[in-house]
Structure 1
Amino acid sequence: MVEHIVQAVVEIFTQNRYADKVIERTFKNQRKWGARDRRFFAESVYEIVRWWRYLGALAGFDPTKTAVDTAAVWQIWSAWCYDTHGTLPEWEETKKFDTQNFAARKESISSVAIRESVPDWLYEYGRQEFGEEWNQILHAMNQPAEVFLRANTLCGTREELLRKLKGEEIAVTPVSELDAGLKLLERKNLASSESFKQGLFEIQDGASQMVAPLLRPEPGMKVIDACAGGGGKSLHLAALMKNRGKIISMDVHAWKLESLKERARRNHVDIIETRVIDSDKVIKSLEKSADRVLLDVPCSALGVLRRNPDTKWKLTAEEVQKILILQSEILQNYSQMVKPGGLLVYATCSLMPAENERQVKKFLEHNKQDWSLVEELHTLPHREGFDGFYGALLKRRS
């Protein structure tokens, strides 16, 4: 098992592969593993990736500034194992780990960037944006995320889903801030449950569940989800619209929209039409046609590091600047699809004001005659317990 963990971490850091994809492929190759083995493997990989820099310091080096190889990952795994359990198996690969000076090394780590396990550039970026609060945010983002469900109200109420899940021995509790939200109390393979197969719920973080209601969709409307991805928010919009009206779910990746079609069938949704954005003509053809437009734009994803901790090691300051340009272009161009009098939501799963309120402020400054800000949504993991999310509701005057 440990050899598989080490190999997975090597792939993540040397081949630039995403942790969730590496874990998924390993599961397919290890079909004899039971639920306990799978959980141990996945949690171990995520925890090592999450605490990569801190564990490297405990092992005596900075893995963000040195070459990563199998030997280095074994040292980091040893640091994680010793830090967690206080002992090490007597294996050949673990004999190089220096337990004698472990306590002294741990005591000597004064850098918050190392203690909270982030690259230096990201630590400084966050400090500039949030000041002292950044340390609290970082600490919260290093905790494993809780799992939230959204009851599919096309199939029944949240209370009916609660009873159904109880019968399947899935422990959940209602979330007061969310009309259809439930929090999972004990991790289970939800995808194999009958309720999931019947389309009675979707797995969706609490903050993400706040975005579709912010758009204020109504039955019978024409709604465009212009950066739909896998379609979680499109499905939520369909439920809020009582499956009446029309939703055009768009994305530049056709394969993501194929996944949405499957999910829509399972969710008993038939008002979604998918369109691939393969040219500017797709956007222009829909000018001033929609009552509502949702722009869940590409972003740094720094608000969901609890779920995707490898993002902080793959992202660079240069890439953030490119993302800012792309977001500005999407907001300016895609907003033209909203009818006069219609509403638009600009949303990201980022914490950073540069991607959020400052993007909206810049857009409004350039379009002050046509657009106004109605409402903003901010969530932070150390405050609400949800992912870091931002949403701005804008109204088009003309």
Structure 2
Amino acid sequence: MRLHRNLVFAVIDALNLIFNEKEYADKVIEKVLRYDKRWGARDRGFIAETTYDIVRWKRLYSEIAEVREPYSRPNLFRLFTVWCVLKGISIPDWKQLETTPERRIKGRFDELSKIRKFRESIPDWLDELGEKSLGNDLWTKEIAALNKQAEVILRTNTLKIQKAQLQELLADSEIETIPIEGYPDALKLKERKNVFTTEAFKNGFFEVQDASSQLVAPFLEVKPGQRVVDACAGAGGKTLHLASQMQNKGQLIALDIYESKLKKLKIRTRRNGVHNVETRAIDSTKVIKKLHGSADRVLLDAPCSGLGVIRRNPDSKWKLEPEFMERIMGVQQDILQNYSKMVKKGGQMVYATCSVLPQENTNQVKAFLDSENGLEFKLIKEQNIYSSESGYDGFYMALIKKI
């Protein structure tokens, strides 16, 4: 691979914004890719994938390069040279990349790779928490799997098209996909491509959604004609899946505390041909109270650590803090206690997170069921989805029925 100065400098700019300015990686990549309209798909791919790679291995590379935050520009170039050496990429004769000790870099890598917190490039506290929560063997396998680059998975919008038809349509656009066994609506891209520019996407024939995430809506067992509440809808990936499962029939109420996210959902519903969704911002407790005892199904896709999705959000490893973990577990229990009141007798709810930690998952469900509000409910089934077993994101789901 021959390195181009303008592309490498774009990567350095991106790393500065992510590491020093604490901006979100996905937003930074969007910003940096607008630098030069002449960049083609390969150029953009290099910038995005190289940036994400260095973000993913920040701690390991920093230890090897012997640099610390806040990173000066020369230090960011040192991280980049470590990436080059470990990828086997020839380093050009630029003044920013002078005197690269390749043998020492490889030696340090071999040495540090024997220690999990360096090998998997995670903070000490997170490594300790993972081992304590999952045990040494499972945590070792899980964090290794969570550090692999996420594949691009599509969910067929069955309101508009069937999976086989979508596969053919994408093939006509030179996007090769393969079905995934056990995931009825999923197609996996054989190689990474920008699917958002395709006519198929513009026509609402698919959404990008990880395979594990695609298991949540079916877990709720919705039926056409029901009243269903997606209580933490966000921008609505699972709302749209629920709508297709309901065949656009019945009432689907999407709630969220952020009006801005619900506005994005409205745009997505139009593209997807979904017309049974009503959005409501949770701007007071009245919004929930009005729905007490009225829902056949409730989805609680609760806010969480996001530990199960760090494959696609590697910068979240550096944004997570122990204090946040304590706070978010309080939020999760509040959601279970208060939002469960929307379920009517005989109705069902699913509590789900994109975390692999039991304290955010099965422990929260047990605490709810043992509480006064939980006495009317019983656990039907639960499922832990580990990235090390499935190859996709880490998730948890519990189906709970009001008796």
TM-score (norm. length: structure 2) = 0.95
Q: 2:4 — aligned with what?
A: none
Secondary structure, aligned partner of 1:369: helix
Q: 1:253 — aligned with what?
A: 258
How big is the shift at 1:100? Answer: 4.3
Q: 2:217 — aligned with what?
A: 212
Relative distance call for 1:256 and 1:74 in structure 2 (3 A) is same
Q: 2:125 — aligned with what?
A: 121
Contact 2:257 2:281 in 1 (8 A): yes
Counterpart residue type for residue 35 of structure 1: A
Query: In structure 1, what is the Cα distance between the partners aligned to 2:109 and 2:239?
Result: 47
Contact 2:298 2:343 in 1 (8 A): yes
Map of 1:220-369 to 2, 5 A cutoff? 220-366=225-371, 367-369=373-375
Q: 2:96 — aligned with what?
A: 93
Contact 1:377 1:391 in 2 (8 A): yes
Choose 79-88 or 139-148, whichever is displaced more.
79-88
Is 2:75 aligned against 1:72? Answer: yes
Query: In structure 1, what is the Cα distance between the partners aligned to 2:104 and 2:209?
Result: 44
Counterpart residue type for residue 117 of structure 1: S
Pick from 196, 203, 206 the counterpart of residue 201 of structure 1.
Answer: 206
Query: Which runs of 5 or more residues in structure 2 are unaligned?
Result: 1-6
Pick from 172, 175, 180 the counterpart of residue 170 of structure 1.
Answer: 175
Counterpart residue type for residue 97 of structure 2: T
Contact 2:56 2:121 in 1 (8 A): yes
What percentage of residue pairs aligned between the two structures are identical?
A: 46
Pick from 111, 115, 120 the counterpart of residue 111 of structure 1.
Answer: 115
Q: 1:22 — aligned with what?
A: 28
Contact 1:75 1:96 in 2 (8 A): no
Alignment: residue pair count:
394
Question: 1:155-214 CA distances to partner (integer Å, 9 max, x unpaired)?
Answer: 122122122222222111111111111111121111111111111111100000000000
Counterpart residue type for residue 389 of structure 2: R
Contact 2:379 2:400 in 1 (8 A): yes
Relative distance call for 1:255 and 1:92 in structure 2 (3 A) is same
Choose 284-293 or 94-103, whichever is displaced more.
94-103
How big is the shift at 1:86? Answer: 5.0
Contact 2:337 2:374 in 1 (8 A): no
How big is the shift at 1:32? Answer: 2.0
Q: 2:50 — aligned with what?
A: 44
RMSD of the alignment, in Å?
1.2
Contact 1:59 1:98 in 2 (8 A): no
Contact 1:220 1:246 in 2 (8 A): yes
Pick from 150, 158, 181 the counterpart of residue 153 of structure 1.
Answer: 158
How big is the shift at 1:368? Answer: 4.7
Query: In structure 2, what is the Cα distance between the partners aligned to 1:233 and 1:84?
Result: 37
Contact 2:16 2:76 in 1 (8 A): yes
Relative distance call for 1:368 and 1:272 in structure 2 (3 A) is closer
Secondary structure, aligned partner of 2:358: coil
How big is the shift at 1:13? Answer: 1.1
Pick from 357, 371, 392 the counterpart of residue 386 of structure 1.
Answer: 392
How big is the shift at 1:232? Answer: 0.6
Query: In structure 1, what is the Cα distance between the partners aligned to 2:341 and 2:240?
Result: 23
Query: Which runs of 5 or more residues in structure 1 are unaligned?
Result: none
Is 2:63 aligned against 1:57? Answer: yes
Q: 2:105 — aligned with what?
A: 102
Counterpart residue type for residue 68 of structure 1: Y
Secondary structure, aligned partner of 1:374: strand
Query: In structure 2, what is the Cα distance between the partners aligned to 1:326 and 1:313?
Result: 21
